[in-house]
Amino acid sequence: MIRDPDTLNALLDSVRRFVRERLVPAENEVAETDEIPPAIVQEMKDLGLFGLTIPEAYGGLELTMEEESLVMIEMGQTSPAFRSLFGTTVGIGSQGIVMDGSDAQKARYLPKMATGELIASFALTEPDAGSDAASIRTTARRDGDHYVVNGSKRYITNAPHAGLFTLMARTDPAVKGAGGITAFIVDAASPGITLGRRDRKMGQRGAHTCDVIFDEVRVPAENIIGGVEGRGFRTAMKVLDKGRIHIGAICVGVAERMLADALRYAMERRQFGVAIAEHQLVQAMLADSRTELYAARCMVLDAARRRDAGEDISVDAACVKYYASEMCGRVADRAVQIFGGAGYVADSGIERFYRDVRLFRIYEGTSQIQQLVIARGMVRAAA
Ligand code: COS
């Protein structure tokens, strides 16, 4: 749903301009230094990017899913590391509070998230619990009006910058699966929290992940999201449903960028006396990429609109994430192929995107988990 086209277009224009004038020229620097320049971080805050999905009542822009998707398609036109810096705060880090938090929790945390003062991370994955999210072992044991948290979380995006973790922990050790899991808001400065060293990743330099270790960390009982034990897994799944459309939109954006770069190169590069874009086998790669991109874009916007209309989109969000991330990988591969030797060396930028986009098929649910969610949903609906 688009509430006011003029307001949205003004936002899309400023994001487009920011991406073109500030982020694209900084891509190489970020890849080399593994840091986003502080001036750019400040501009992201000034643009309101940290508050895109935070309700207006708490200082955010409260974008609908369709509006958010369109903004993410624009943000996708540059290195994904830029999006990652505010992505957990507008996405999986904050949305548990937005969807299931109490009014007091919203009033306390969301305004600082909206300005970018407070960066939120989502702490679900553990050394032994990834795709099988219900098997987490981090515990939260009740002790008076607090819980005491012990355990380790792994690959936590933005953990080195986080002021707050949306933490999934097991409050009922007797319940092995999803029912024993509770979502907590945890102040990242709490005594007993330590961070592992930053992971050395395949790509997305400038986006930081690390382990987060909880050792006897005391968390006030009032920090249970929504105030009720045992609802954390559902909260996490709802947050991920939304996150999967968001990632699908980013995949569309990055694929558009890679295809635009590949097309420009194909029109400039000459072999056999003509631009390689004149060769039919290159045209096939361009055409396949354009077609799949169009399909993914339609899927993202359709699922987003139907989520805005209140429909249950769990299965469709999985379809979107699955198709858009796999599409993005294929477009990256073809773009490298079109660039040929130039695509294999770092200077073209395509080599970097090829590594960056590999993550999309893995995080917020692997392609195989999306297939599982889709097929299970089909069986359930038919039964
Ligand atoms: N929305 C709301 N509730 C949901 C839900 C959704 N999308 N999906 C599941 N639930 C609920 C179920 O209804 C069930 O509740 P009840 O016990 O009250 O019936 C509960 O959650 C458990 O669901 P289920 O039995 O389907 O859980 P499984 O352990 O079989 O796990 C998958 C389901 C595999 C889909 C889940 O573990 C998953 O998404 N894994 C991937 C995790 C992931 O994306 N990790 C990325 C890291 S975070 S960046």
Q: DSSP states of 320-339 as a string?
A: HHHHHHHHHHHHHHHHHHHH
Would you give the distance in Å from CA 362 to the centre of its chain?
Answer: 11
Q: Which atom of ligand 1 is nearest to the CA of 376?
A: 26
Q: For the segment 206-253, what is each residue's pLDDT rounded down to a tens digit?
A: 999 999 999 999 999 999 999 999 999 999 999 999 999 999 999 999
Q: Is 108 in the pocket of ligand 1 (CB under 6 A)?
A: no
Q: Is 26 in the pocket of ligand 1 (CB under 6 A)?
A: no
For a substitution probing ligand 1, which of 212, 234, 325, 372 has the most ligand atoms within 8 Å of its CB? 234
pLDDT of residue 183: 98
Nearest to 252 by CA among 298, 284, 203, 305: 298
pLDDT over 90 at 347, yes or no: no
Q: Is 241 in the pocket of ligand 1 (CB under 6 A)?
A: yes
Which amino acid is located at 63 in the chain?
Answer: L
pLDDT of residue 10: 98
Which amino acid is located at 193 in the chain?
Answer: I
Q: Is 131 in the pocket of ligand 1 (CB under 6 A)?
A: yes
pLDDT of residue 310: 98
Nearest to 201 by CA among 332, 357, 72: 357
Q: For the segment 160-199, what is each residue's pLDDT rounded down to a tens digit?
A: 999 999 999 999 999 989 999 999 999 999 999 999 999 9
Closest-CA residue, ligand 1 atom 15, reads 234
For a substitution probing ligand 1, which of 155, 237, 379 has the most ligand atoms within 8 Å of its CB? 237
Residues 6+ apart with CB under 8 A from 210: 156, 159, 160, 195, 196, 197, 198, 199
Nearest to 168 by CA among 244, 89, 245, 239: 239
For a substitution probing ligand 1, which of 157, 233, 245 has the most ligand atoms within 8 Å of its CB? 233
Write out the H or E segment, with its range, that includes residue 216: strand 209-220
Q: Is 133 in the pocket of ligand 1 (CB under 6 A)?
A: yes
Q: Is 365 in the pocket of ligand 1 (CB under 6 A)?
A: yes
Q: Which atom of ligand 1 is nearest to the CA of 130?
A: 45
pLDDT of residue 242: 97
Rounded CA gap, 377 and 318, in Å? 10
Write out the H or E segment, with its range, that includes residue 140: strand 139-143
Q: Is 373 in the pocket of ligand 1 (CB under 6 A)?
A: yes
Cα(181) to centroid of ligand 1, in Å?
11
Q: For the segment 76-100, what is each residue's pLDDT rounded down to a tens digit?
A: 999 999 999 999 999 999 999 999 9
pLDDT over 90 at 334, yes or no: yes
Q: Which atom of ligand 1 is nearest to the CA of 157?
A: 49
Q: Is 369 in the pocket of ligand 1 (CB under 6 A)?
A: yes
pLDDT of residue 28: 96
pLDDT of residue 206: 98
Closest-CA residue, ligand 1 atom 12, reads 234
Q: Which atom of ligand 1 is nearest to the CA of 92?
A: 49
pLDDT band at 41 (very low <50, low <70, confident <90, very high): very high
Q: Count of alpha carbons within 13 Å of 129, Cβ hemisphere only?
A: 20
Closest-CA residue, ligand 1 atom 3, reads 234
Cα(283) to centroid of ligand 1, in Å?
42
Cα(87) to centroid of ligand 1, in Å?
22
- The catalytic residue positions are 364
Q: Which atom of ligand 1 is nearest to the CA of 178?
A: 22
Give the rounded percent of residues in the chain with a pLDDT score beyond 70.
100
Length of the chain: 383
pTM of the prediction? 0.97
Cα(137) to centroid of ligand 1, in Å?
16
pLDDT of residue 96: 97
pLDDT of residue 86: 97
pLDDT of residue 119: 98
Domains (ranges, CATH) in the chain? 5-115 (1.10.540.10), 120-230 (2.40.110.10), 234-382 (1.20.140.10)
Q: Is 318 in the pocket of ligand 1 (CB under 6 A)?
A: no
- What is the overall mean pLDDT for the chain? 97
Cα(174) to centroid of ligand 1, in Å?
19
pLDDT of residue 49: 98
Mean pLDDT throughout 269-282? Answer: 98
Give the rounded percent of residues in the chain with a pLDDT score beyond 90.
99
pLDDT of residue 348: 86
Mean pLDDT throughout 305-330? Answer: 98
pLDDT of residue 301: 98
Rounded CA gap, 78 and 348, in Å? 14
